Amino acid sequence: MTDVATVDIACRGARDFVRTYFISLDSEARSQLLPRLHRPSSITTWNGTPLAPELLADFFGKLPESRHDIQCIDVHPVLGTTPAPLQVTTTGSVLYFFPSTPSSTPTPNASSLLEATRNLPPQNVTEYKKPKTPDDVERLPRAFHASFLLLPDSSVEGAGLKYYIGSAMYRFVG
């Protein structure tokens, strides 16, 4: 297979993976769906905190309801082996919702998110309205960056090449 064909396959695979991952992350069933994409050897870091594979279901189950908006996907096949592992990077924004608040008023859960946004300058001064209360800040969308190393999974039988998450990193960046 040529490098061009490998890149084309990688692009399609990354797009499908990102769609599956973030639909699962936004799903109420995320605690059952997301651990299936990992293996016991997978490494996951969430905002700088390492998560053991056996704790992923519990961790994802405790996350509040969310809605991710993917703005960029970048993929690079790691050439040299066949099939090639994929390095996938994505950025976007996320809104968090809690059962005690209507879905029309998203709020993030972590107090560290509030602290991180407290001193940020406005992105667009003409549209920026200074938050008046901590709750106003908490209702803002959060920018995030996620990076994945997808490894070929030879243990899965069936048509087509399957990948699993070898390494995942998710971080709020704004």
- Residues 144 and 90: beta-carbon distance below 8 Å: no
Rounded Cα–Cα distance for residues 78 and 86 (Å): 6
pLDDT tens figures, 138-167:
667 889 999 999 999 877 776 667 899 999
The per-residue pLDDT for range 46-102, each reduced to its tens digit, is 999 999 999 999 999 999 889 999 999 999 988 888 788 999 999 999 998 866 545
Instruction: For the chain, give every domain's residue range.
Output: 3-118+128-172
Tell me the average pLDDT across 112-119.
44
Residue 62, token pair as written in the block: 């405790």
Distance of CA 17 to the CA centre of its chain: 11
User: What was the pLDDT predicted at 27?
Assistant: 93
Range 3-118+128-172 has CATH code 3.40.190.10: no
Is residue 26 pLDDT above 80, yes or no? yes
**Could you report how far apart the first and last alpha carbons of the chain are, in Å?**
40
Residue 173 identity (one-letter amino acid): V
pTM of the model: 0.75
Token pair, residue 32, equals 């059952």
- For 57, 76, 114, the CA distances from 105, given in Å and listed in that order, are 26, 37, 15
